[in-house]
């Protein structure tokens, strides 16, 4: 089994199945197609499948042209999981959010594997890419696969290989970001390394699926904790009347032992605010508390309130209150130069300002209309930034510093600017750093 799978991968005859065609699955599909593999994509969202089959993209930084050329290369998308047997690999890229108790919600992963298991066959390679706690692959996927009578490592191969992506960063591509891979058995690892080495420059094998799962969590916890640290430093520096961004720029000139992280109005995105709590939950099973994770979460989730306090203080200097003021929030994606709004702190800011009585508007060149979100609703479209529109607001809150904003225009025309991103380095009269 193993050798025939390895041969198919080497000759590019292997058909690559990717389950979940979102921010992770779609770029991976494009990379396999680019190298010459035929890809069969699965998703439960009919509108996405229809868009892809028509050669359209639904992610801003993925072009329709690239989808169309993948289609020419044999890429197909489907909602029909009974076609899983047509693929040689099944790479799972489905969401792993938290539930309302901030505990891991594995339902997407489990629904996916349950939908695939009836169609598994000998020779399949299953790879889980979704970020999750150590033990998910061997505690949840392995028994479900073996329930069909397959022996993992002989009949079916199972690996965990976490996705690493930095959407909007032009310096890295799927191909050039090294990929970690851990297998349930040495044969599983061998097939996983062969698969990813076909499309990725550097594959980093680790000894187990648990080591691979923990690697991804360490990476994201490292970011969450360091961002929590600089956010706390920002609050302290602000009270001392020191510009934290100037301090970070200066510290970053140290050529060793310092890694710059930048404070902001809170944490956003599908990964950093969520993934660390997968470990927190699992650690409890071992009687352990993840204190750094909890502390960073506390600091980071308090940042929108701190920024709102800055807006209130700034308006106060103009003898105004938040209640009744017109506030324009600049940037509602969770980070610069992307259109992804998941967990965006800008949305929390908008809600808090609205709840305090502000008339809230937003401008974001990447998000023309406020999208339908499960827990948030604003019936708003992006305000075009002109001298007149800027001057009509009591306060402009810079929440996400997209490069496409005209910062000089904003500076010249806004009455009051609260900058939570350190974009304006030099002070001026109507600027408040937050
Ligand atoms: N977005 C990132 O930058 C990033 C980076 C690294 C890791 N990750 C991890 O990758 C995983 C996927 O994240 P994403 O950002 O691609 O999510 P996403 O929401 O963009 O995409 C997930 C896709 O899976 C589909 N889906 C949901 N349930 C399904 C099911 N049962 N069967 C088939 N398809 C299903 C959804 O319709 C959606 O298209 C998560 O675990 C995330 O933590 C994301």
Q: Each residue of 36-79: pLDDT tens digit?
A: 999 999 999 999 999 999 999 998 889 999 999 999 999 999 99
Using the mean position of ligand 1's atoms as its centre, give its distance from the Cα of residue 404 in Å: 27
Pocket test for ligand 1, best of 161, 162, 270, 333 (most atoms within 8 A of CB): 270
- Of the ranges 187-191, 286-290, 333-337, 372-376, which one carries the lowest mean pLDDT score? 372-376
User: What's 84's DSSP letter?
Assistant: G
* Confidence (pLDDT) at 316: 98
Pair (419, 277) in one structural domain: yes
Question: Cα separation of 193 and 29, whole Å?
Answer: 17
Residue-wise pLDDT for 4-24, tens only, equals: 999 999 999 999 999 999 999
Average pLDDT over the chain reads 96
Same domain, 237 and 374: yes
- Residue 203 shares a structural domain with residue 121: yes
Q: Quote the distance between the C-alpha of residue 63 and its chain's center.
A: 19
d(CA 51, CA 233): 45
Burial class (CB in 10 A: 0-12, 13-18, 19+), 9: buried
pTM: 0.93
Residues 93 and 130 in one domain: yes
Query: Does the residue 226 lie in any domain?
Result: no
Do 364 and 410 reside in the same domain of the chain?
Answer: yes
Counting residues of the chain whose pLDDT is more than 90, the rounded percentage is: 95
Query: Is the per-residue pLDDT at 373 higher than 90?
Result: no
Average pLDDT over residues 111-138: 97
Residue of minimum CA distance from atom 25 in ligand 1: 20
Say yes or no to pLDDT of 209 above 90: yes
219 domain residue, yes or no: no
Of 183, 212, 241, the one marking the end of a domain is: 212
The answer to whether residue 218 scores a pLDDT higher than 90 is: yes
Residue 227, in any domain of the structure: no
Looking at the fold, whether 327 and 199 belong to one and the same domain comes out as: no
Q: In the prediction, which pLDDT does 210 show?
A: 98
222 in a structural domain: no
Same domain for 190 and 243?
Answer: no
Would you say residue 217 lies in a domain? no
Assess whether 295 and 161 both reside in one domain: no
**Of 182, 212, 242, which one is at a domain's C-terminal end?**
212
Distance 311 CA to ligand 1 centre (A): 35
* 286 and 186 together in one domain: no
In a domain, 48, yes or no: yes
Coil, strand, or helix at residue 232?
A: helix
Q: Catalytic residue among 93, 188, 271, 395, which?
A: 271
Question: What is the CATH number for 80?
Answer: 3.40.50.720
33 and 157 co-located in one domain: yes
- Pairing type for strands 203-206 and 179-183 reads parallel
Tokens of 88: 């040689």
Catalytic (active site) residue 271: yes
From 24, 166, 215, give the residue whose CB has the most ligand 1 atoms within 8 Å, as the site to mutate.
24
Q: Is the pLDDT score of 374 beyond 80?
A: no
First to last CA, the chain: 59
Domain identity same for 184 and 237: no
Are both 11 and 131 inside the same structural domain?
yes
Q: What total number of domains does the chain contain?
A: 2
Is 197 part of any domain?
yes
User: Could you tell me what percent of the chain has a pLDDT over 70?
Assistant: 100
How far apart (Å, rounded) are the C-alpha atoms in residues 188 and 191? 5
Q: Which residues, other chains included, contact 257 with Cβ-Cβ below 8 Å and sequence gap of 6+?
A: none
Q: Specify the pLDDT at position 241.
A: 95
Domain assignment of residue 256, given as a range: 233-433
What residue owns the CA closest to ligand 1's atom 31?
Answer: 112
- With a Cβ cut-off of 6 Å, ligand 1 is lined by 19-25, 42-45, 48, 93-96, 108, 111-112, 129-131, 163, 165, 167, 270-271
Asked whether residue 168 carries a pLDDT value surpassing 80, the answer given is no
Predicted confidence band of residue 170 (pLDDT cuts 50, 70, 90): confident
């Amino acid at each position: 089994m193993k050798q025939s799978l390895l041969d198919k991968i080497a000759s590019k005859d292997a058909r690559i199945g990717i389950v979940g065609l979102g921010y992770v699955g779609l770029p991976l599909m494009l990379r396999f197609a680019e190298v010459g593999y035929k890809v069969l994509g699965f998703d439960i969202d009919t509108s996405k499948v229809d868009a892809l089959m028509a050669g359209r993209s639904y992610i801003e930084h993925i072009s329709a042209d690239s989808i169309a050329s993948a289609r020419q290369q044999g890429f197909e998308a489907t909602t029909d999981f009974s076609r899983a047997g047509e693929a040689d690999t099944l790479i799972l890229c489905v969401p792993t959010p938290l539930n309302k108790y901030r505990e891991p919600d594995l339902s997407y992963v489990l629904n996916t594997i349950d939908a695939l298991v009836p169609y598994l066959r000998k020779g399949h390679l299953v790879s889980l890419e979704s970020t999750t706690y150590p033990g998910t692959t061997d505690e949840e996927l392995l028994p479900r696969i073996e329930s069909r009578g397959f022996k993992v490592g002989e009949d079916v191969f199972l690996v965990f290989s976490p996705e690493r992506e930095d959407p909007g960063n032009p310096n890295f591509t799927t191909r050039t970001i090294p990929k970690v891979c851990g297998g349930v058995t040495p044969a599983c690892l061998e097939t996983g390394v062969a698969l990813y080495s076909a499309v990725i420059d550097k594959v980093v094998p680790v000894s187990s699926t648990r080591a691979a799962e923990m690697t991804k969590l360490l990476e994201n916890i490292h970011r969450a904790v360091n961002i929590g640290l600089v956010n706390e430093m920002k609050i302290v520096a602000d009270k001392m009347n020191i510009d934290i961004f100037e301090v970070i720029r200066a510290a970053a000139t140290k050529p060793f032992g310092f890694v710059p992280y930048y404070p902001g109005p809170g944490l956003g995105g599908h990964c950093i605010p969520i993934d660390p709590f997968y470990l927190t939950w699992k650690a409890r099973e071992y009687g352990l508390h993840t204190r750094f994770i909890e502390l960073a979460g506390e600091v980071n989730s308090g940042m929108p309130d701190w920024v709102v306090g800055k807006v209130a203080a700034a308006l106060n200097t103009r003898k105004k209150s938040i209640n009744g003021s017109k506030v324009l929030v600049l940037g509602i994606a969770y980070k610069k130069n992307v259109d992804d709004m998941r967990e965006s702190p800008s949305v929390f800011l908008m809600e808090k300002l609205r709840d305090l009585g502000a008339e809230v508007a937003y401008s974001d060149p990447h998000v023309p209309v406020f999208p339908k979100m499960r827990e948030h609703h604003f019936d708003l479209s992006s305000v075009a930034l002109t001298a007149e529109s800027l001057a009509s607001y009591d306060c402009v809150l810079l929440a996400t510093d997209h490069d496409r904003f005209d910062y000089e225009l904003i500076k010249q025309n806004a009455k009051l600017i609260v900058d939570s991103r350190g974009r304006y380095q030099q002070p001026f009269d109507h600027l408040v750093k937050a």
